[in-house]
């Protein structure tokens, strides 16, 4: 079946029309003329796979990754980078118009590092192969991933050389001073110890040389295996600079940082304000956050470990609130509390535009003042949004 790609959806899939039906085609870009197979047919749409590119747009480039066409990770690597940013901006503009009926024109901040930027990656294992999940949900045996550094790829290849029969998956985190490895399942680690700062097997630390640290601006952060940290270390300061700009912080401000992780935003803005209170559910992250405050000699930040939805009632007493929730967004109770309290500003950091607009619609006591996009995920359809909200 020959089709013309007329647009990209918000997940980065090409969109075509055939016989009055929409067809979604991964790894295609707007302007391509492609020969496809239909791999799944649904009532309202079909899913296709490229057999051959007949002709292509001038916006198409060669992907650096030899596995790109099959891998389920990157999905817009054949789109030149300026067009990637344009696509991401237009996607957010369209989502805000469709679901909130508002017109926005956000700035988008790009990433200097378009490959090799990720500080965390997961490889899956079936007992024989260790690799990535394909677009068809199969396990792919790959030699390297271009989104991570040579150090991470070298460790990955060393693990591939071990007995994989009892291995389920591995997670590798890269810090400024080395690598942290987490193993689900079991394997011999004797040959890879000298490549790691620490190694966890099924959640237990079985080897530790030293803690891992990432430097952001003039701050140093300790990062544990289970703690959340933005994956693009080189662009984090740009993201946090947007939060700082939106805060227009004063010495008298009291900031509440919900879903604070290892305290990265809390500590980053602390020098501008009177105090910061961070709340996070992951115990290891709070341990890191408290250690990070000590490391940086910061004394006006406190942290509480617990579920935001259960702690938000009694602990939101500042005049500026920052929320950086996981992909699922805010729960209804937290939204209810945020609607009821009297704060000057709410700054919402989001990695998922669909849950973002859902939550913004429910935050009906606030109005959107500004939005900035930061590309933390080159080669993929993902983009980080920072929204400034004021009380109505």
Q: Is 260 a catalytic residue?
A: no
Answer left, alpha or beta for residue 244, where phi above 0 means left and psi between -120 and 50 means alpha. alpha
Residue 65 phi/psi, 5-degree rounding, is -95, 125
Strands across the sheet with 33-41, in order? Answer: 2-4, 33-41, 45-55, 21-25, 14-18, 7-8
Strands across the sheet with 178-185, in order? Answer: 139-141, 130-133, 120-125, 167-175, 178-185, 198-201, 204-208
Q: Which of 248, 241, 375, 385 is nearest to 323 (CA)?
A: 385
Tell me which of 71, 196, 260, 351 is the catalytic residue. 351
Q: How far apart are CA 235 and CA 376, in angstroms?
A: 6
Q: 267, 287 in Cβ contact below 8 A?
A: no
* Beta-bridge mates of residue 368: 389
Q: Which residues are catalytic?
A: 351
């Amino acid at each position: 079946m020959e089709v013309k790609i007329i647009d990209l959806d918000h997940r980065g899939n090409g969109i075509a029309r055939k016989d009055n039906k929409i067809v979604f085609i991964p790894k295609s870009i707007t302007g391509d003329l492609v020969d496809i197979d239909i791999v799944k047919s649904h009532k309202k749409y079909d899913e296709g796979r490229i057999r051959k590119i007949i002709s292509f747009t001038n916006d198409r480039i060669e992907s650096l990754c030899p596995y790109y066409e099959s891998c389920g990770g990157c999905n817009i690597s054949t789109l030149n980078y300026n067009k990637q940013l344009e696509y991401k901006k237009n996607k957010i503009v369209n989502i805000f118009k469709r679901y909130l009926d508002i017109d926005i024109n956000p700035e988008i901040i790009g990433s200097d590092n378009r490959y090799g930027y990720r500080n965390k990656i997961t490889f899956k294992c079936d007992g024989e192969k260790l690799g990535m999940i394909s677009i068809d949900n199969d396990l792919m045996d790959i030699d390297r991933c271009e989104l991570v550094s040579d150090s991470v790829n070298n460790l990955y290849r060393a693990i591939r050389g071990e007995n994989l029969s009892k291995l389920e998956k591995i997670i590798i985190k890269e810090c400024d001073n080395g690598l942290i490895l987490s193993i689900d399942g079991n394997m011999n680690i004797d040959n890879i110890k000298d490549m790691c700062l620490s190694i966890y097997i099924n959640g237990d630390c079985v080897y530790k040389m030293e803690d891992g640290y990432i430097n952001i601006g003039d701050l140093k952060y300790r990062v544990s295996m289970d703690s959340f940290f933005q994956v693009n270390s080189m662009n984090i300061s740009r993201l946090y600079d947007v939060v700082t700009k939106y805060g227009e912080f004063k010495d008298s401000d009291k900031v509440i940082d919900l879903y604070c992780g290892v305290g990265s935003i809390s500590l980053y803005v602390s020098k501008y304000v009177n105090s910061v209170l961070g709340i996070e559910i992951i115990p290891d992250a709070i341990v890191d956050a408290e250690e990070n405050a000590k490391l940086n000699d910061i004394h006006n930040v406190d942290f509480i470990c617990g579920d935001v939805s259960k702690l938000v009632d009694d602990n939101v007493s500042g005049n500026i609130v920052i929320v950086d929730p996981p992909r699922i967004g805010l729960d209804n109770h937290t939204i209810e509390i945020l609607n009821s309290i009297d704060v000057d500003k709410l700054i919402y950091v989001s990695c998922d535009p669909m849950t973002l607009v859902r939550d913004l619609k429910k935050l009906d006591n606030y109005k959107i003042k500004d939005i900035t996009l930061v590309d933390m995920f080159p080669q993929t359809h993902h983009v980080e949004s920072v929204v400034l909200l004021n009380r109505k």
